[in-house]
């Protein structure tokens, strides 16, 4: 691989890492928003459907955040030259 290919790959992985963290945060915020609106507002979803949506959004958002942070940690280890 040439240097340009390595830089392109690093740019794509950096974008993927940022996108994972941003979308994960949005999923978690949206799940919390549904919970607050369901508890204190007038929300048209049934209880079971609302809580299933909340659970799925929080779990998937947590997964995306974990994936983004683990990619960040891996890229930081590679950039530092550490093999741990």
Q: Which two tokens mark 78? A: 């590679």
Q: Rounded CA gap, 25 and 48, in Å? A: 24
The answer as to whether 1 is a domain residue is no
The answer as to whether 17 is a domain residue is no
Q: Which two tokens mark 31? A: 């799940």
Residue 46: count other Cβ atoms within 10 Å of its Cβ: 9
pLDDT at 67: 92
| CA atoms within 13 A of residue 4's CA, in its CB half-sphere | 0
The answer on pLDDT for 5 being more than 60 is no
pLDDT digits (tens, 9 = 90+) for 25-78: 999 999 999 888 888 877 777 788 888 999 999 999 999 999 999 988 888 787
Please give the residue range of the domain that contains residue 67.
35-75
The answer as to whether 28 is a domain residue is no
Mapped onto helix, strand or coil, the DSSP state of residue 2 is coil
Q: Which two tokens mark 70? A: 């683990």
pTM for the predicted model, two decimal places: 0.74
pLDDT at 7: 61
The answer as to whether 61 is a domain residue is yes
Q: How many domains does the chain have?
A: 1
The answer as to whether 13 is a domain residue is no
The answer as to whether 6 is a domain residue is no
């Amino acid at each position: 691989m040439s240097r340009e290919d390595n830089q392109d790959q690093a740019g794509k992985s950096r974008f993927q890492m940022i996108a994972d963290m941003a979308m994960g945060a949005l999923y978690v915020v949206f799940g919390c928003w549904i919970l607050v609106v369901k508890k204190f507002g007038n929300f048209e979803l049934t209880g079971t459907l609302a809580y299933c949506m909340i659970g799925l959004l929080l779990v998937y958002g947590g997964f995306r955040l974990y994936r983004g942070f683990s990619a960040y940690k891996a890229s930081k280890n590679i950039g530092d030259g550490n093999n741990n």
